[in-house]
Chain A
Amino acid sequence: MADVKMIATRESYGNALAELGKVNPNVVVLDADLAGATKTGVFKKAFPERFFDCGIAESNMVGIAAGLSTTGKIPFASSFAMFAAGRAFEQIRNSVGYPHLNVKICASHAGISVGEDGASHQCNEDIALMRTIPGMVVINPADDVEAKAAIFAAAEYVGPVYVRLGRLAVPVINDESTYKFELGKGVTMREGKDVTIIATGLMVARALDAAQQLAADGIDARVINIHTIKPIDKEIIVKAAKETGLIITAEEHNVIGGLYSAVTEVTSQEAPCKVVPVAVMDTFGKSGPAKELLEVFGLNAATIVEKVKANLK
């Protein structure tokens, strides 16, 4: 594992935007005084005339993005997840979601892996908030390759999209030369017949680690990456439920309203089976180095392995 490249999906975002700016002149980027952190600064440097700082005023930024989209622009509006999905929730709901405008909300610093800034900045609720808006696409990429591809896919898709990005450098698990992003399609990262681990975001790499550890104990775990949480890939979930009978979900998000909820909404109707969450268990975050926090909150391979073993009959 020593050779694995580590990169934060916010970096991927900035780089993807700069690439996108070259091929799509309608792309404009908005930020709320966080261009250095969200990495929209990469786009700003390349295309200063298409970058608009809105200052520390996220609600207004979302409204401006909505207005811009009606004039044929493709606005990417960024802030931290807490202030985009959180603070500006109602603006996203009413000025973007309700009129189904072509606005891309790309929020970095999601989840507890924000680290030292602590609970006020650790948004574990964004997937839940964004997922409840009718017509909103919600994407949570797992690594650099997927994040870049997701940004291009978001630009191509006509309609509102929320993309969740992280601050922490995470392992690159996809092969750029063969990777293809399909909106709304889950990805089977590893085949398995005993149990399915359905993961999203940075938990995908950890789910793969868990599967490897389980294999050593003779447990054959399937790993599915759900990068598009809405619309969710029902087919891949139902198939997993029917074929493996046990699902563990893994997400860096509150257990309420995120991936666990989205998966159980599918299984409860279409293929009832036991679904066990690995998530932030309805609590606020804490300050500390991101990697340590992920351990403290149990968002690691060890917890996934433990949940599998405890629930596998």
Chain B
Amino acid sequence: MDKQFLQTKALEVRKSIVTAVHAAKSGHPGGSLSLADTLTYLYFYKMNVDPKNPKMENRDRFVLSKGHTAPALYSVLAEKGFFDKAELLKLRKTGAMLQGHPDMKGTPGVDMSTGSLGQGISTAVGMALGGKISNAEYTVYTALGDGEIQEGQVWEAAMAAAHYKLDNLVAVVDNNNLQIDGEVDKVMSVYPIVDKFESFGWNVTTCDAHDFDSIHAAFEKTNEKNGKPWVIVQKSVKGKGVSFMENLASWHGTAPNDEQYAQAMADLEAIGKELEAE
């Protein structure tokens, strides 16, 4: 794993997220920024994907169960070359390819249409089951929000994944502890997340969502196939990388205005300078 390469890519992804949401004048920057490093790791290190052949049969799959953080997925896919980065500036606009939430029919690289919380993980279970039936080699990855796991369907899916011994399935719970109405533990506590998944028969590990060594270590563990699905509960910071967005629920679904956008890009440029200096 080339840590500096991933850090540089993740920084570009963050700039794209902020730029796309600013251009759209709406969208979900907070949870996109908290997932940016993990998605960068998946698409630039972990997953077997080919931007020239997005429907490649033996590819690893990714389902963004927390579909509202589409700007993160779109930014990573554009960075990887699935489509032109110019599309990001048209996010959410009339006639644009990039819809407010992922649309697998219209966007190369999007493996499942998502947006209605709780549904993505079930489809990921289906993909993993399909892989098992066909003796395929691919792994299915899915990312959930911590607020999202309040949806009962998530636990139906968790039960099914363990029941069918889907060790080709890796879920990530993006635990930034913030949802629209506030802190997750105050809105409707989902804790303890690790214990819950363990009791549902999953392998569980944790990581720091903004440290590539930690992310790498967690995903390396998931290579072990023992008949149980894997979940990585990642401690993340909503709005990570943009000073005034960090740890604020209010940046869940709000776009930065021009002034805030300039500040956000300045913050990210500063991180870039630090990376160069390292």
Chain A residues within 8 Å of B, Cβ to Cβ: 28, 49-50, 52, 54-55, 57, 59-60, 62-73, 75, 90-91, 94-95, 98-100
Contact = CB atoms under 8 A, between A and B. Distances in A.
Given A55-B160, A60-B160, 12 more contacts: A57-B153, A59-B118, A59-B153, A63-B157, A68-B127, A70-B126, A71-B130, A72-B134, A75-B126, A91-B119, A91-B153, A94-B113
B156 interface: yes
Contacts of B134: 71-72
Contact of A52 (B127, B129, B131): B129
Contacts of A94: 113, 115-116, 119
B61 to A, nearest CB: 8
18 contacts: A50-B133, A59-B118, A59-B152, A59-B156, A60-B153, A60-B156, A60-B157, A64-B122, A64-B125, A66-B123, A67-B128, A68-B127, A68-B129, A71-B134, A73-B130, A94-B115, A94-B119, A99-B103
Which bucket holds chain B's interface residue count? 35 or more
Interface string B94-121: 0000000001110000011101101111
B126 A63 contact: yes
Shortest Cβ-Cβ A-B pairs, 9 listed: A67-B126, A63-B122, A71-B130, A60-B156, A57-B156, A67-B123, A64-B126, A67-B127, A99-B113
Choose among B112, B136, B156, B157 the residue with the greatest number of A CB atoms under 10 Å from its CB. B156
Main secondary structure of the interface of B (DSSP, over half): helix
Nearest to B127: A67
A71 B63 CA distance: 13
A253 B102 CA distance: 35
B32 to A, nearest CB: 20
Contacts of B36: none
B113 A95 contact: yes
B124 A67 contact: yes
B131 A71 contact: yes
A91 B163 CA distance: 21
Nearest to B57: A72
B194 interface: no
Contacts of A54: 156, 160
Choose among A57, A60, A69, A100 the residue with the greatest number of B CB atoms under 10 Å from its CB. A60
B265 to A, nearest CB: 34
Nearest to B138: A71
Nearest to B142: A67
Interface of B: 61, 63, 103-105, 111-113, 115-116, 118-131, 133-134, 136, 140, 152-153, 156-157, 159-160, 163-164
Contacts of B121: 63
Choose among A59, A64, A69 the residue with the greatest number of B CB atoms under 10 Å from its CB. A64
A99 B112 contact: yes
Contacts of A70: 61, 104, 111-112, 123, 126-127, 130
A26 B176 CA distance: 41
A57 B159 contact: yes
Nearest to A59: B153
A67 B122 contact: yes
A29 B127 CA distance: 15
B98 to A, nearest CB: 16
B131 A57 contact: no
Contacts of A50: 133
B201 to A, nearest CB: 14
Contact of B130 (A57, A63, A67): A67
B122 A66 contact: yes
Nearest to A64: B126
A155 to B, nearest CB: 17
A72 B130 contact: yes
Contacts of B115: 94
A28 B122 contact: no
A99 B113 CA distance: 6
Contacts of A91: 119, 122, 153
B223 to A, nearest CB: 21
Contacts of B153: 57, 59-60, 63, 91
Given A54-B160, A67-B122, A90 B130 contact: no
